[in-house]
Structure 1
Amino acid sequence: MTRRSRRTLPAALTALVLLALGALVATSAIQTLLERTPLVALDTVVGTLGRTSWQAAPVLVGAGVAAAVGVVLLVAAQWPGCSHVLPLATPPAGTDLVGGWHRTDLATRLRRRALAVEGVDRAAVHVRRRRVRVRARTHRASTAELRTSLAAALGADLDALGLARRPRLRVGVASTRKER
């Protein structure tokens, strides 16, 4: 099963922080080379760090924050990502493999099934791990009966797929005409 990494957000945040620090150092270095007043003076930073002891409160707080961020990043690295495949309850016939439906394939199948229902002009299907959301458009003025028949057709299709966990189905139908 393909899993999307949950490391994307922590990696992006870490990269942004390092990019900002690198840009600050580069800006200060370029300003020093051009003999202008730097944004952050190197002498000031070195002098402040030289006078600070390891037992100083800012050092201990900074070390605690760095350790907490490190633990959060390690936990995020071990956490599995979202599955792109919805597993089947039973393996495909004649194989030992555990199969499943890829989310985009399932969405395409359900969209085609929704368009086959009489009265549906357009349909959009969004598949998540535990829910399927279908939004359909129709030219009919009344949508209640179409919503019921669409939900029944798609529900029967989901039942026939043999998924290990059947996702919850939410169907919405909007009309292009107003009801009189």
Structure 2
Amino acid sequence: MSESRGPEAAEGSTRRLPVVEPGPEQPGPPAAEKHVPDVPEIGTAHRFWSARRVPAGIVAVLVLLLAGAFLYDVVAVRTGRDALGWRRDLARQLAERPLDDTWVLVGAGVAAALGLWLLLLALTPGLRRVLPMRRTHPDVRAGLHRDAAATVLRDRAMEVAGVQSARVRMRRRKARVRALSHFRELDDVRADLDGVLDDAVRGLGLARPPAVSLRVARPGRKG
């Protein structure tokens, strides 16, 4: 008994697959461009004020101890006991020493320095490591830490071809960038870094964008 097969199953035959002719190239979606949206600023972004918890705690403890010691001595005197020796010595020293005495001048200088330090802490905002960002909403305030801003600038600098390493030191008004380039021309690398860092600084959204100070050098040489 023989089994019949169709011509397409015969030995040596091949099945031709349909060929799809390439059509005209369709334009793909446009490449995404890095663009920082221009959001209008609302109000003025001021620096963040520090709570000054450590200095306030130290001053509070010292004042509490001094006031407690004086209060205890006053209560002891009112109950018929003698005043403590240190308070009597202090009163005698203040009564007998002239104003131009060395120790009196030293004590006055220390007290004045402490008073100026407390006034400086009370009148300055502090939190110098937090950079205020632009206000785009009246009820929202945002800040960016200096280390985070420096990390962003360093990462963007490392994306430039030819940059071997980069170091960024961020300040309130200036960002110092030091880069090492190992195979491209320094002028070309510097030109690319200028554009990239300017875009990166604008992308941070800071209220007062820092000026960028850039230096490019070869490895093993000082910038």
TM-score (norm 1): 0.62
Identify the match of residue 74 of structure 1 among 118, 133, 136.
118
Which residue identity is paired with 1:154? L
Is the contact made by 2:149 and 2:204 (CA closer than 8 Å) also made in structure 1?
A: no
Q: Match for 2:192 among 127, 134, 149?
A: 149
Residue of structure 2 in register with 1:57 after alignment: 100
Name the residue aligned to 2:3.
none
Shift, 1:56, TM fit: 5.2
CA contact (8 A) 1:139 1:177 kept: no
Aligned residues: 136
What stretches of structure 1 of length at least 5 have no aligned partner?
Answer: 12-45
Higher radius of gyration, 1 or 2 = 2
Inter-partner Cα distance in structure 2 for 1:144 and 1:172: 11
| Matched-pair contact (CA < 8 Å) for 1:4–1:83 | no
What's the counterpart of residue 163 of structure 2? 120
Indicate the SS of the match to 1:155.
helix
From 166, 169, 176, the equivalent of 1:133 is: 176
Indicate the larger mover: 161-170 or 135-144.
135-144
* 1:107 is aligned to 2:144: no
**For residue 205 of structure 2, what is the amino acid of its counterpart?**
G
Q: Determine which of 89, 111, 136 is the counterpart of 2:134.
A: 89
CA distance in 2: counterparts of 1:125 and 1:61, whole angstroms: 46
The structure in which a higher percent of residues are helix is 1
SS of match in other structure, 1:118: coil
Take 1:70 and 1:102, find their aligned partners in 2: how far apart are those partners? Answer: 30
> Where does structure 2 lack aligned partners over 5 or more consecutive residues?
1-47, 59-88
Distance 1:3 1:84 in 2: 11
Higher percent of residues as strand:
1
Q: CA 1:155/1:54 → structure 2, altered by over 3 Å: closer, same or farther? A: same
Counterpart code for 2:156: R
